[in-house]
Amino acid sequence: MHSRCDLACDHCYVYEHADQSWRTRPRTIALETVRAAGKRIAEHAATHALPGVQVILHGGEPLLLGAARLDAVLAELRATIAPVVRLDLRMQTNAVLLSPAICDVLLRHGVRVGVSLDGDRAANDRHRRFASGASSHALVLRGLALLRQPAYRPLYAGILCTIDVAGDPIAVYEALLAEAPPRVDFLLPHATWDQPPPRPAGAATPYADWLGRIHDRWTADGRPMAVRLFDALSPTSSTVECRASGTEAVGLDPADVVVIETDGAWEQADSLKTAYDGAPATGFDVFSHSVDDVAGHAGVAARQNGLAGLCATCRTCPLVRRCGGGLFAHRYRSGSGFDNPSVYCADLKALIARIDQSPADVSPVGRAPIVDGSDRNPMSDRELDEIGSGYGDAAAIARLVESQVPITRVLLSMVGETEAATPAWELLEHVDAEAPEAVAAVLAHPYVRAWAVRYLERPEHRDTDRRHLACVAAAAAARAGLSAVLALPVRDGLVHLPALGAFAVASRSAQTAELSIAGGEFELRAGAEWWPTRWLDAGGQRVPIEDTDPYRDCHEWPVAGRLTPAAADHWQDLLAAAWHGIHRDAPAHAPAVRAAFRALVPLVTDPGGRLRSATNRDAFGAVAVAAPADGDALAMLLVHEVQHVKLGAVLDRYDLVDKSHRELLAVPWRPVKRPAEAVLQGAYAHLAVADVWRARSREAGSGAVAHYHRYRDWVTGALDALHRTGALTADGERFTHRMRETVERWRDDHR
C-alpha cells in the first residue's frame, strides 16, 4: 500500500537488509494498480474455482494512506474481487496511526488487523522507534486499546512480535498477554548464513531457549492465546494429514503467497529481501502478467516442492515434517543459494524437543477461541486413574465432558479465521456476546466438531462445508431467542439446524433457503416441513436421535435416513431394555454411559446380520449403531462404544502413545496389524466388554465364560505388546497400568 514507514525499526527487512528496491518505487499504490491487481486476482480465482482468497494490506506502513485513500483502495478491491470469489481482507500495521476514523473504514470493509509489537517497552523500544529515536510503545498500545473496544473487536486479528534474545522473554510474554490478542506470531529475526543472527557467547540455541521459556509459561497458564509458531511445531500439527501449519516459517506446506509492490510488480515472499538485492524479483507485473505466470516462476516453484525442495541434510532429518527446513529466506548462503538448512536449524530442533516435553495440549489443534476456551479445569491424577481403570466415576467423566466445548470453540475459531467477514460468522459472534450459553449448547452437539474438523482438514470440501456455518449460527440464534435473517444451505432436500432438527424443503432443486428467527421461533421462507429432533429416555438422561445431520455419515458403516415414528418408538424400547441390562451386568459403567452418551445415530442394518456400531473421535458422545435384536445386545454395544468415547476425550488432552512410534502391532481381533494407538483403543473397549461377559457368566454358563476369557486375554495380550514395543509415554504407562490392575483383580473369576 505504501513503500515508506513512519517508524525506523533497525531490524526491518524492507529498509535495513540486502534488497533496497523500495528506493525506486512509488510511495503509494495508485488506484489503477489496485484495480489491475484486483482483476488479476479475480481472474485467477475464477480460472481455478478457488473457494476464497486472502489479500493482506502491507507496507511500509499501510495507514500512511489515510482514511479516505484507504477507503477507496478497499472499495476497489471489494468491487473487483468480491463478485467473483469470497474475499478475506487483512492488514499488518504498526498501529501508530490507528484512529476511530480508520477503524470505521476497516470495519465497513471487514478487514482483520494484525499489529506489530515486540513486547514490553524495553523490548519494543530496542528496535521499534521513530527516526528521532523516540519511543513508539505508547502509541502502539493506544491503537491496541482501540481494537479491544467492543465496536472494533471484530477487527483484531493478533500481534506480530519479532524476538530479541537480549530481552526478558517472560516480560515480553506478559506484555503481549495483557493486550488480549486472539493470536501471537513470534518471528525469528531475519538472518542468513552470510549474515547470521546475533548469538550471546556460550549459548548454543539461544532462540530456542528464549522461546522455550515462553512456551513453558504459556503451557502453565493454560494456553490463554494462540501462538502460531508453537501450534505449527506441535506434534499434532505434523501428524494430521492436510492440516496446514498456517505459516511459511515452518512446515512443508507449499508457498501460497506473492507480493504486489506499489508499482504493480509481482514479487516472491518479501522475507527474501534479507537474502540479497533483487532476491524477491520475478520480472512480472500485474499489468502484463497473470497469477499463473507468477506461479510458474522458478523461485515460486522452488517453494512449492515440499520435501523434495529441501537440501539433502533436511530431507534425511526426522524432524523435517515439523520444521519444514525453516523459512526459505533463512537458508540462504552465498555459493549454494537456498540449498541449505535454516541458519536457525539448531534452535528449531531444540525448540521442538522442548515442546515435545511439555504436557499435552487441551485441544488437537491450538487456535484462539471466539471466547476463552482454554482448559481452566484440568483432570487430576485421581480422575485420570479413574478413567484408566476402565470405569470412571461421575466426577472424572464430567471432566471429560466439560473439555469438549472448549475444544470445539478452538476449532470453530480456526474456521472463523477465513469466515470472519461473512454474515454467518458475524451472527455467531453476536450470539456469543449476548448469550454464550446458547452457543455452548450448539457446540456440544457431536457433529458440530466433526464439521469443523472436516472444514479444516478437507480443503476439497471446503465450499460445501463453509455454508454449514450459517446453520450453526442460526441454531445458536434460535436458542438464544435473538432475531436474525440468514440464508441457509439446502443439502439433499434438508436444511439442518444442529441439535434442533431439520426442514424438509419441498423443492429438490433449491440450493439455499432464507430462515427468519425472532423470539426463539424460526420460519423457513420456502415450502418446508419441520422435522424436530426426537429424544430418547436413556435412564433418565435425554439423548437425541440424530437422523438428519449431514455430518453424521462419518462412520465405517452407512447411516440410516430419517426414521419413521414407529422406528423411533422401537429404538426407545431397545434403549429402555439396554439400560436395564447395563444396570444388571455393568453397573460400574453406568455413570460413564449416562454422561458420555450424547446422541444415538441409527445405522443401516447389516444384511448379513452382524452387529454394527461405531464412534468417531471428532463426534464426542455420538454412538452410531444398527438396531440389534434385543436390549442386551444394545447394552453391550453402548458400553463398548462409550469406552471409545472416553478414551478419545482422554487422548484430546494427554499423549498416551509416543507419536514417533511407527511399528504396527498384530492383534487377535483384526486380520491386519494396527498402529499402537488403535491397539490401545481396542484394548480399552474390550476391557469393558470382558467386564460385561464376566457378569453374565455368573448366570449364563459356559458360553459367557468363554466370551469373558477371550476378551480378557485380548486385553492382556494387547497391553503386553504395547509395553514390549515401548510405544507408550509416561502417561500411557500409568494409564495402562491401571487397566492391568483392573484385569488382574478379575483373575479369581472362572480361572
Radius of gyration of the chain (CA): 28
Domains of the chain: 43-190+204-260+308-356 (3.20.20.70), 403-532 (no CATH), 599-745 (no CATH)
Q: Give the lowest-confidence range in 20-29, 66-75, 248-257, 574-583.
A: 248-257
Dihedral sign for Cα atoms in the order 734, 736, 739, 743 = negative
Given a contact cutoff of 8 angstroms between Cβ atoms, the answer to whether 160 and 116 are in contact is yes
Residue 715: per-residue pLDDT:
95
Given a contact cutoff of 8 angstroms between Cβ atoms, the answer to whether 291 and 85 are in contact is no
For the record, the C-alpha cell of 77 comes out as 478491491
Q: Express each pLDDT in 376-403 by its tens digit.
A: 445 677 888 999 999 988 888 888 888 8
User: Helix crossing, 423-434 with 404-419: angle to 10°?
Assistant: 140
Q: Express each pLDDT in 400-454 by its tens digit.
A: 888 888 889 888 888 887 787 789 998 998 898 888 889 999 999 999 999 999 9
Q: How far is CA 204 from CA 169, 209, 313, 350, 365, in A?
A: 17, 9, 19, 10, 30
Q: What is the largest CA-CA distance in the chain?
A: 91
Given a contact cutoff of 8 angstroms between Cβ atoms, the answer to whether 587 and 647 are in contact is no
Q: Distance from first CA to last CA of the chain, Å, rounded?
A: 79
For the record, the C-alpha cell of 390 comes out as 476402565
Residue 701: per-residue pLDDT:
66
pTM beyond 0.75: the answer is no
**Residues in Cβ contact with 578 at an 8 Å cutoff, skipping those fewer than 6 apart:** 631, 632, 634, 635, 638
Q: Express each pLDDT in 311-353 by its tens digit.
A: 999 988 988 888 888 888 899 999 999 999 999 999 999 999 9
Residue 244: per-residue pLDDT:
42
592 CB-side CA count, 13 A? 31
Given a contact cutoff of 8 angstroms between Cβ atoms, the answer to whether 676 and 727 are in contact is yes
For the record, the C-alpha cell of 540 comes out as 433418565
Closest residue by Cα to residue 640 from 595, 602, 679, 586 = 586
**Residue whose entry in the numeric block shows the C-alpha cell 543459494:** 337
**Residues in Cβ contact with 610 at an 8 Å cutoff, skipping those fewer than 6 apart:** none
For the record, the C-alpha cell of 250 comes out as 515452518
More confident residue, 460 or 704: 704
Residue 106: per-residue pLDDT:
93
**Residues in Cβ contact with 432 at an 8 Å cutoff, skipping those fewer than 6 apart:** 370, 371, 439, 476
Q: Express each pLDDT in 613-664 by its tens digit.
A: 999 999 999 999 999 999 999 999 999 999 999 999 999 888 899 877 888 9
